[in-house]
Amino acid sequence: MDCVDAIVIGSGPGGAFAAYGLRGKRVLVLDVGRDAPAGDRLSGNVYDLRRTRDDLFPQLIGEEFESLHNLYNRPISLKLKSPFMSFVVRDWRRLTPVVSKTFEGVISLAKGGLANAWGAGVYRFTDRDLRGFPISVEDLQPFYDELTSRIGVSGANDDLDPYFAHDDALLPPLALSPLFSDLLARYAQARADFVRERTFLGRPRLAVLTQPWNGRSAYQYENLEFFQPHIPAIYTPAYTIDQLRSEGAITYLSGRLVERFHERDGQVRVYARNLDTGEAEVWCGRKLCIAAGTLNTARIVLQSAAEYDKRLPLLDNPMACIPFISLGRIGAGLAANDSSLAQLNWIVDDLDSGETIQGTLYGATGPLRSDVLFTLPLSFRANLTLLKHVAPAAGLLMLFYPGIETPQSYVRLRSSGELEVEFAQTGGNPAIERKIMRLLRRIGYLSHPALIDRPGMGQALHYAGALPMRAAPGPFQTHADGRLSGTAHVHIVDGACFSRLPSKNLTFTIMANALRIGRRLARELS
Ligand SMILES: Cc1cc2nc3c(=O)[nH]c(=O)nc-3n(C[C@H](O)[C@H](O)[C@H](O)COP(=O)(O)OP(=O)(O)OC[C@H]3O[C@@H](n4cnc5c(N)ncnc54)[C@H](O)[C@@H]3O)c2cc1C
C-alpha cells in the first residue's frame, strides 16, 4: 500500500495549520468537508440591501425558514443558522451523533470547520494562560508571529497589552460603531476608577483585514457576518486549505468520515467511510495528525482503542451575556456602514481566583430582529418598534469564564458509536458581574443582573482538554509535541490536547500549536 508522509484529519484551524507546517512532505488531508451552498449571495451593504431589494427572504430567512431555527429548536449560535451559513453544522447529528442531557453545542463537518462562522478573535496565550501546559510562550511565540504575518491580524497595542502581548505587526484596528467609540472615550475619562478595580478595556485582536493583505481585500463594513460565508477580509482556514491545494502541497479529499486508526510496522492506517459511495477505505501515513475538533478527535481516539468505558475530561468556557444600553442613543439612526464583529474587549484581572476574565463587546445591529422579538414583553408590533429604536443603543458583553475540570464534564464513547457528552452546569461569578455592571453604570450605561443570560454549556464552542498535554502523560493523554501516549506516530493537533482552558478564545493557540507540531513532524520526516 502506498504510504504518504503524513495524514491530517480535518481542515479546521488545527488541521489547516498542521498541513501548512508539513509543507514539503507528501500530505493527505481527509475531511468530511461540507461547503457553502451555491446560490444568489448578497453583495453590498445590509443597510442598503434592506432599502433597495424587494425581497431578501431567500438570503436572510431561507426557503426552509432556516434563520428561524431558534424559534422552535434548542438555540444555536445566531451565526450558524442562516441559509448560507448553516452548512457549517450540516449533517453532524446524523454522521457523528452525540447523546447528552446537558450539551448545548454543535460540531462542524465543514471545510474550514467551525471557523467558517467564527468571530475571528485571535488572542495569544500568556504564560499565565499556559499554566499546566508542558510548553511555554517561548515555544509558541514564533508560530503566533508567523500566523500574524500570514493571515493578517488587526488590533492595537493598548491597555490590554499585558493580557494579549504587545505586537508591532498588527494592522490598524477596525473602525468602531458609534456606541463603542463613545464607550471607549468614556472609559478613557474614568480610567482611574477602572484601574483601581483591576479592570481594563481595549481593542480586540481580529483575523480581519483592515488593509489588503496577501491577496485578500480589506473589510467593507457591510454587516453581513450573520448571513454571508467566506467574506475575504475575515480569515478562515478554508483559505489556507485552498491555497495549499492550488500549490500542490496537499492532497485534499472531502466526503471522508474517518472512523479509527491503527498503528502497524511504523505506519498508521486510517479507516474512513467514503460518504459518496458508502464504501470503507484505508489510507496509510508515516505520521497522523488528528484535528477533527475536540469532540470528534476524542471519538476517533476512543474508537481506535475500542474503549467504551473511559470518560475523558472535557472543557468549554462557561458564559455570561450581559446586555447594556445607552439611554442617550435610543432612537439614534443606524450607521449605514457597520459591523457585527467584536468591538472591544473587557478584562477583569481577578486577584481572588488568580485568573483574568475576558469578555467581548458586540453591537446589536447585525442579527435579525426575529432573534429577540419574541423575548420582549409587548405586542408584536410594539416589540418591532421598540427594537428599531433600541438596537443602535444596545450592546452585549459576552464574558467567558475559565473551563472547569470536574468529573461531571466528560466525553465517553458508547459501543453504539454515539458519543456521550455531559457538562457540569455553572453559575458564573456574580461578584465579577456586579463589578462590571457598576463600572458600566459609572460611565453611563444601564444593565441589570436579571437581564444576564447564561447560555447552556457547549455554546461557547471552545471545546478542549479531552486528551491533555502533560509532561509525563498517562493513557489518553499527550506529550508536549501532541503525540498520543502509547502511540509512536499519532499526534493530536486541535483543542483536545489543551492542558487547560483559560478565559480566552482558544483558536489562535490551536493554530500556533498545530503549526509548531506540523513543522516538527516535517523535520522528523526529513
Ligand atoms: C459562531 C462562532 C464564533 C467563534 N468565534 C471564535 C473567536 O472569535 N475566536 C476563537 O478563538 N474561536 C472562536 N470560535 C471557535 C473556533 O471556531 C473553534 O475553536 C475552532 O474552529 C476549532 O478548530 P478545530 O480545528 O479544532 O476544529 P473544527 O473547527 O471543529 O474543525 C473540525 C474539522 O474536522 C473535520 N472532521 C470532523 N470529524 C471528522 C471525521 N470523523 N472525519 C473526517 N473529518 C472530520 C470537519 O469537517 C472539520 O474540517 C467560534 C466558533 C463559532 C461557531
Phi, then psi, of 260 in degrees rounded to 5: -165, 170
Residue 56, pLDDT score: 83
Catalogue the E-assigned strands of 457-503. 490-492
% helix / strand / coil in the chain, to the nearest 5? 30, 20, 50
Please tell me the distance between residue 512's alpha carbon and the centre of ligand 1 in angstroms. Answer: 15
Q: Is there an atom of ligand 1 within 6 Å of 110 CB?
A: yes
Place of cell 500570514: 150
Residue to probe by mutation, ligand 1, list 107, 118, 123, most atoms within 8 Å of CB: 118
Residue 31 Cβ contacting ligand 1 at under 6 Å: yes
pLDDT tens for 17-30 read 999 999 999 999 99
198 C-alpha to center of ligand 1: Å?
33
238-262 exposure pattern, b = at least 16 Cβ within 10 A, e = fewer: bbbbbbbeeeebbebebebbbebbe
Q: How far apart (Å, rounded) are the C-alpha atoms in residues 402 and 381?
A: 40
Measured by CA distance, the residue closest to atom 33 of ligand 1 is 10
Which residue's alpha carbon is nearest to atom 44 within ligand 1? 31
The DSSP string of 293-328 is: -HHHHHHHHHHHTT--SPPEE-B---EEEEEEE-GG
- 505 forms beta bridges with none
CB 402 within 8 A of CB 316: no
Q: Is the Cα dihedral 148, 151, 152, 153 positive or negative? A: negative
Is the distance from CB of 122 to CB of 360 less than 8 angstroms? no
CA 108 to ligand 1 centroid distance, Å: 6
Q: What is the pLDDT of residue 326?
A: 94
d(CA 109, CA 258): 11
Residue 62 has what pLDDT? 87
How far does residue 254's CA lie from ligand 1's centre (Å)? 16
What is the whole-number distance in angstroms between the Cα of residue 53 and the centre of ligand 1?
34
For the Cβ of 204 lying below 6 angstroms from any atom of ligand 1, the answer is: no
The preferred substitution site among 461, 492, 513 for testing ligand 1, maximizing ligand atoms within 8 Å of CB, is: 461
Nearest-angstrom CA–CA distance, 516 and 510? 10
Which sign, positive or negative, has the C-alpha torsion 388, 334, 231, 7?
A: negative
- What parts of the chain have a pLDDT lower than 50? none
The pTM score is 0.97
Residue with grid cell 489588503, as numbered in its chain: 212
| 234 Cβ inside 6 Å of ligand 1 | no
pLDDT of the residue at 67: 87
Distance 161 CA to ligand 1 centre (A): 27
Ligand 1 mean position, distance from CA 220 (Å): 25
**pLDDT tens per residue, range 100-149:** 999 999 999 999 999 999 999 999 999 999 999 999 999 999 999 999 99
| pLDDT at residue number 171 | 98
CA distances from 70 to 99, 318, 371, 372 (A): 20, 20, 7, 10
User: How deeply is 220 buried, as exposed, middle or buried, from its count of CB atoms within 10 A (0-12, 13-18, 19+)?
Assistant: middle
Query: Given ligand 1 and candidates 111, 507, 513, which is best to mutate, with the most ligand atoms within 8 Å of its CB?
Result: 507
Task: Supply the pLDDT for residue 460.
Answer: 95
> Residue 33 C-alpha to ligand 1 middle, in angstroms?
12
Q: Is 258 in the pocket of ligand 1 (CB under 6 A)?
A: yes
Atom of ligand 1 nearest to the CA of 77: 1
* pLDDT given at position 120: 98
